[in-house]
């Protein structure tokens, strides 16, 4: 099964994608994570995208399409793929459609996580990530364990993302509404859109997604 997780920043796309990875042995392809890895490695791409990402704007379509193409052509995943944070523009959606066609893969569903802006701002300002494994914590709903160790990998280094600040968040939300939200109509027209209520707690959203996919 191949699916896209679509939604604004802070909707919980990454958290739900990780649950699907565990339950269905799918591979998570998060362009945000890949771009952050590229920055950490100090590669040419990483240097090109750093400023754009910190500002909260979208990276050029060609860069993310190339990264996704490279992964799809080289790393197999028998359980299929979860596209997390990709596509984010109509051009990216068209490119993904062509790539999947070329490889003989089908797009089974697009899970649209619906969350209002107040909740996004609250979630993002409380968010921290384990530097070791990328597990996401939230000061209110899922605090870092009392012993200070990540539940997943035992790591002790937790960080706030550089773009999780008020100004970048405003830019990221605007980018979502202007450039990404047209994909809701695009996938609705293809008959694959599956809206879920992203305001529920993590398990509640995971259940809605199970129902939407099975």
Question: Which residue is catalytic, options 13, 18, 39, 123?
Answer: 13
Binder among 4, 28, 39, 86 for ligand AMP (CB under 6 A):
86
Please state the closest distance from residue 147 (CB atom) to ligand AMP, in A: 28
Among 121, 108, 155, 113, which residue's Cα sits nearest to residue 136? 155
Question: What part of residues 23-82 is at the interface with ligand AMP (CB under 6 A)?
Answer: 31-32, 35, 52-53, 56-59, 64
Torsion angle defined by CA atoms of residues 104, 187, 203 and 210, in that order, rounded to the nearest 10 degrees = -50
Please state the closest distance from residue 121 (CB atom) to ligand AMP, in A: 14
Please state the closest distance from residue 75 (CB atom) to ligand AMP, in A: 18
The owner of tokens 């392809």 is 29
Question: Which residue is catalytic, options 69, 161, 200, 210?
Answer: 161
Q: Is 127 a catalytic residue?
A: yes
At CA 20, angle to CA 17 and CA 21, rounded to 5? 85
Per CB under 6 A, 198 contacts ligand AMP? no
How would you list the strands of the sheet with 109-114, edge to edge?
A: 27-30, 81-84, 3-6, 109-114, 193-197
The owner of tokens 């979630």 is 123
Instruction: Give the nearer residue to ligand AMP in terms of CB position, either 9 or 198.
Output: 9
Residue nearest to ligand AMP as judged by C-beta position: 32
- Neighbouring residues of 104: CB distance < 8 A, sequence distance ≥ 6: none
Instruction: Give the nearer residue to ligand AMP in terms of CB position, either 37 or 151.
Output: 37
Per CB under 6 A, 88 contacts ligand AMP? yes
Q: Is 161 a catalytic residue?
A: yes
The owner of tokens 């968010």 is 127
> What is the x/- site pattern for ligand AMP, positions 150-189, by CB under 6 A?
-------------x--------x-----------------
Contact present, 138 and 126 (Cβ < 8 Å): yes
Which stretches within the chain are classed as H helix? Answer: 13-24, 31-41, 44-55, 61-74, 90-103, 117-125, 166-175, 182-189, 202-213
Per CB under 6 A, 17 contacts ligand AMP? no
Q: Which residues are catalytic?
A: 13, 88, 127, 161, 172
Report the interface residues with ligand AMP, using CB under 6 A: 9, 31-32, 35, 52-53, 56-59, 64, 85-86, 88, 92, 163, 172
């Amino acid at each position: 099964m191949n699916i896209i997780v679509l939604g604004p920043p802070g909707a919980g796309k990454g958290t739900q994608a990780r649950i699907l990875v565990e339950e269905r042995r799918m591979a998570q392809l998060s362009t945000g994570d890949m771009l952050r890895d590229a920055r950490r490695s100090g590669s040419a791409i990483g240097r090109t995208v750093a400023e754009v990402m910190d500002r909260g704007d979208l990276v050029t379509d060609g860069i993310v399409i190339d990264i996704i193409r490279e992964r799809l052509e080289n790393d197999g995943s028998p359980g299929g793929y979860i596209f997390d944070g990709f596509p984010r523009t109509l051009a990216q959606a068209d490119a993904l459609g062509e790539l999947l066609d070329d490889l003989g893969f089908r797009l089974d569903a697009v899970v649209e996580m619906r969350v209002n802006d107040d909740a996004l701002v609250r979630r993002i300002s409380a968010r921290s990530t384990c530097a070791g494994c990328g597990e996401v914590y939230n000061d209110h709903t899922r605090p870092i364990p009392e012993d200070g160790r990540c539940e997943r990998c035992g790591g002790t280094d937790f960080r706030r993302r550089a773009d999780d600040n008020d100004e970048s968040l405003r830019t990221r939300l605007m980018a979502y509404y202007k450039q990404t939200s047209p994909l809701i109509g695009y996938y609705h027209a293809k008959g694959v859109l599956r809206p879920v209520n992203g305001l529920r707690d993590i398990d509640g959203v995971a259940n809605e997604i199970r129902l939407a996919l099975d």
